[in-house]
Structure 1
Amino acid sequence: MNLLENKINTLVKEDIRMANFFQDRKLDFCCNGHRFLGEVLDEKGMDKESFLKDLGSYMDGLSGNGEKEDFFNHMDNEELIGHIRSKHHTYTRNVLKELDQYVAAIVKAHYRHDKPLLLSINDLYGKLRVELHEHLVKEEVDLFPLILDNRIEEAKKEIAVTEAEHDAAGNLLAELRRVTDDYTLPEWACNTFAAVYHNLQALESDLFRHIFLENSILFERI
């Protein structure tokens, strides 16, 4: 199989463990996972032979450990939705509670160190927070019941809205990475500042998995 001729989300569906590899190399496997791997590597100017060698070494090093994608593929819609809600929705709400405190604390403590950086983080996080809180509720109250009740045409309309919101959240996360220089800590950063960067990256990682399970598995069934 020529991996370069496969869509990125197809490869991740075959083995969910590839998600970490793609994410480490900043290759989108969720919102834009429908693009072909070779095409994306060309666009980013990445050496294909080296990339495939590193991917092979990464997969060999896993030695069969970890959950594989058929674990999710064999879930029915109710099970998959239950997993998304219990794991990803719960995690998102918990990490946002921590970030609410930490972001407010670093803006107050370090405002004079780097005013533009702190205001950008505060602004972007505030927008992301609102986006995610509303998004989770809309999924739980509107979208998921439509899918479980097999109201397909109504579900399709809601899915279009949901995928647009996924893109919006992804854009905010990308902008946070840009303004923080890929979460490079300033020399003057305190432990709370480090916790903000850690939690934002953890939120990004979990959200990419969350979006992948919806866009590339659950929604494709509809």
Structure 2
Amino acid sequence: MNLRIRQVVLLTVPVTRMIPWPPVAVAGALSLLACVPAVAGAAAPASQVWALRIAAFLLGTGACFALIEPLAPVATTPTPRWLRQWLRTVIALVPATLAWLALFALLAPGHRLPLTGLAAEAAVCGLTGVAGAAVASRRGHSVTSALAGPAAQGGLIAATLFLSGDHSPWLLPGTPTAAHAWWTAAVPVPVLILGLANREPVRGAARGRARSAAPSRSARCGTGCSGS
């Protein structure tokens, strides 16, 4: 346990430096821009709720890019993949969560917006994107891998938009809040997917990739080995 804590301490600063922060900053700026009319008091409570939902989508999208691991090492001592990936996940999700809570604090006064229900919606939306990027990052670390996160978020939204009326999970202020219980119950699903994606690679697959990447004996020795 002490070794893991020491590794986390040693990795925090290098990993933080290597995370691509511009997408996170852009997502934060766009989230604030989406909430400007609501913050200024020029929007109805329903518009404020949708502004917070848009902010959750954007902040989750920005956090997806933190799952891209550079090829350069981040520490002089070897560390397991799961530790690096979870550290990247936490470092990205903490500012995204704080930014969403700050936007909620700006919008909530005078409108009595349901924090628990909207936070559950935001958690599912944001974590779905991060989980999608984590799954894609098991095969490669590129912008394409990160874009798997917004694709997963878009799939979630598209699927839920087909539900309308009393079955719609996207509640508006003043309507019954029974659907928020479903959002809360759904939070563990992307967390479970994220945990499975951040685990260590399968040993057999890793050995197979290593053998395929290693040069053959004839390639290493050249024609001089033919007589041995």
Task: Using structure 1 for the length normalisation, give the TM-score.
Answer: 0.27
Which of structures 1 and 2 has the bigger CA Rg? 2
TM superposition score normalised by structure 2 = 0.27
Greater relative contact order, per chain length (Cα 8 Å cut-off, separation 6+): 1
